[in-house]
Amino acid sequence: MIANTILREFRVTEKAANLAANLNQYTFEVNPRANRKEVARAVEKVFNVSVTKVNILNRKPKAKTDRSRGGRPGTKGGLKKAIVSLKEGDKIELV
Whole-structure pTM value = 0.84
Q: What is the mean pLDDT of the chain?
A: 92
**Residue 42 resides in a domain:** yes
Q: How confident is the model at residue 69 (pLDDT cuts 50, 70, 90)?
A: confident
- What is the structure's pLDDT at 95? 62
Residue spans of beta strands (DSSP E) within the chain: 7-10, 25-30, 51-59, 62-66, 72-76, 79-86
Within a domain: residue 24? yes
Overall domain count for the chain: 1
> Residue 94 in contact with residue 7, Cβ under 8 Å?
no
Residue 77 in any domain: the answer is yes
- Of 2, 4, 1, 9, nearest to 26 (Cα)? 9
pLDDT confidence of residue 2: 84
Closest CA to 79 of 57, 95, 52, 94: 57
Judge whether 90 and 50 are in contact, CB under 8 Å. yes
Quick check: is 92 in a domain?
no
Q: Is residue 95 part of a domain?
A: no
Give domain status of residue 33, yes or no.
Answer: yes
Distance of alpha carbon 3 from alpha carbon 80, whole angstroms: 16
Domain enclosing residue 33, as ranges: 3-61+73-86
Q: What is the CATH number of the domain that holds 55?
A: 3.30.70.330
Q: What's the pLDDT band for 75 if we cut at 50, 70, 90?
A: confident
Question: Is a pLDDT exceeding 70 seen at residue 31?
Answer: yes
Tell me whether residue 93 is in a domain: no
Determine, yes or no, domain membership for 91.
Answer: no
Whole-angstrom distance, CA of residue 66 vs CA of residue 63: 10
